[in-house]
Amino acid sequence: MRTRLGGVGVGAAGRRRGASARKVGAAAAALCALFAAPGPAHAAGPPPAYRFPEGVQDVPGGAKDTDGPVLEAGTAYRSVIKPSGKLYFRLILDGTKDAYASAVAVPGPVGAKLAYSDSIRVTIQDADGGSCDSQRTSIGAAQYPHPFAAYAYRSVRTSLPSCRRPGTYYLVVEREGDATSTPSDWGLDLSYSTEPAREGAGPGTAPTGWPSASPAPPATAPRRVHGGTGFHDATALSEGQWRDTVRPGETLFFQVPLDWGQQLFVSGALSGITTDKEGYVSTALSLQLYNPLRGPATGASAPYDGRQKEAALDLLPPVAYENRYAPSSDTSAMRVAGPYYLAVSLSPEVGRTFGNTPYDLTLRLTVRGAKKAAPAYAGPAPDFSGGSPSAGDSSMKRLAALGIGSGTVLVTGLGMWALVARRRTAATIPGAGPDATGAPGAARSPDGQGFGPPSAR
């Protein structure tokens, strides 16, 4: 059992053909709006809601194991969990692949009161109800609505014998909380993926002696970018300095692709402001890093008093298959190559203390280490990228950045339409009923704001 406290689509072919003309028109309109006005995160009102991908499937979750719906690997699911709720889902696993299941909690509504102990627990159980693995992640010191995740896994080599057999397993998602917290429903973003076992025996211990000295900050000039609302629309970044703005109560998501053997260093800084207001917010800026499986790796936070403040993630090892054998959850999380997700949150208390306006944010990323060969898998190598754009694709990055300045941006037509259509049709917080598709106009929180899911269906 692992515990973390303080952790900071596809539609039918006919529908796609029928909607293609409308999508092209919507894409053109969206592109004009993109260049003509600031992005939605800079507009007045609450922060944008957490977005789900087009084609996300709504699943209610079972009250007991026999009622749990079957989930398929590589599919996005959306659900809702009540205070002190416990939901069951079924996974059909073979005896040759490891399996990872994650749940992203999306608390709400905007302004909800949360406590340090508000948390979710994700467990994979065997056919007899025994725990193969479990992780609890709490909202932590950032006690306001923002997405956070936990994951659990089943290993065909290191798990208990009852967890290695093919058959039906159970994903159990539990919500734990404080009696003083707002008793509202939370949204859930669910998924699971598989990984073939390694060919042969191989080392059974985590590497040691990896570089432990932090590098100098990138010397390149900061580039403009704007983060996404969640894992599905996270903006791709590469090494260097990146500049964005973040609003009080907002969480921005970014992704950084890491290959085998590569090591990531991240820091984030809030700029100082010119104001006659005085105050102090103890947990103002929060950074949380997740692996490609949405497992928490490490987090950091910084206070804010109106002057520039910086938070830096703890040192992490290079990505290596053998990291999974480490006793530390931070090291163990650096177990697969793929996009690593950075969630950056700004406390709404900053807005109440210093003004509810966008605050300048600078992210500094360094990727160190030469790429190494992938492990020899006993099957096709897994792809945990989720179809995300490469950080080296400058045209995609420029369209993803909503803080675009004046000038001419040259992009390929297909890339332009694909990205704009995805952003225009990405789903928001859980839909109002079982037929919700996540298309534009899907239901938001009861107050029509921010992260909160609708009332129970």
- In whole angstroms, give the CA distance from residue 194 to residue 385: 13
Give CA–CA dist 285/288, Å, rounded: 10
In a domain, 207, yes or no: no
Peptide linkage before 109 cis (omega within 30 of 0): yes
Note whether residue 142 is domain-resident.
yes
- Read off the tokens for 122: 């994700």
Say how far apart CA 326 and CA 323 lie, in whole Å: 5
- Whether 416 is in a domain gets the answer yes
Determine the Cα–Cα distance for residues 357 and 134; give it in Å rounded to an integer. 39
Q: 279: which DSSP letter? A: -
Structure tokens belonging to residue 341? 């997700």
Please report the pLDDT score of residue 395 as a whole number.
Answer: 35
- For residue 204, tell me if it sits in a domain: no
Any bridge partners for residue 89, and if so which?
Answer: 171
Q: What is the pLDDT of residue 7?
A: 52
Whether 103 maps to a domain, the answer reads: yes
The pLDDT of residue 44? 54
- 345 inside domain: yes
Residues 29 and 455: their CA atoms lie apart, in Å, by 33
For the chain, first and last CA: distance in Å? 32
Number of domains in the chain: 1
Cα separation, 248 vs 120, in Å, equals 24
Does residue 245 fall inside a structural domain? Answer: yes
Could you read off the pLDDT of 92-110 as tens digits, one per residue? 999 999 999 999 999 999 8
Weakly modelled stretches of the chain, pLDDT under 50: 8-43, 388, 390-457
Can you give the pLDDT at residue 158?
A: 79
Domain annotation covers residue 438: no
180 vs 171: CA distance, rounded Å: 28
Tell me, what's the pLDDT at 446?
Answer: 30
Copy the structure tokens of residue 29. 């309109």
Full DSSP string of 179-225: TTS----EEEEEEEEEEEPBSS----S-------SPPPPP-SPPEE-
Containing structural domain, residue 341: 2-199+214-425
Q: Identify whether the C-beta of residue 106 lies closer than 8 Å to the C-beta of residue 225.
A: no
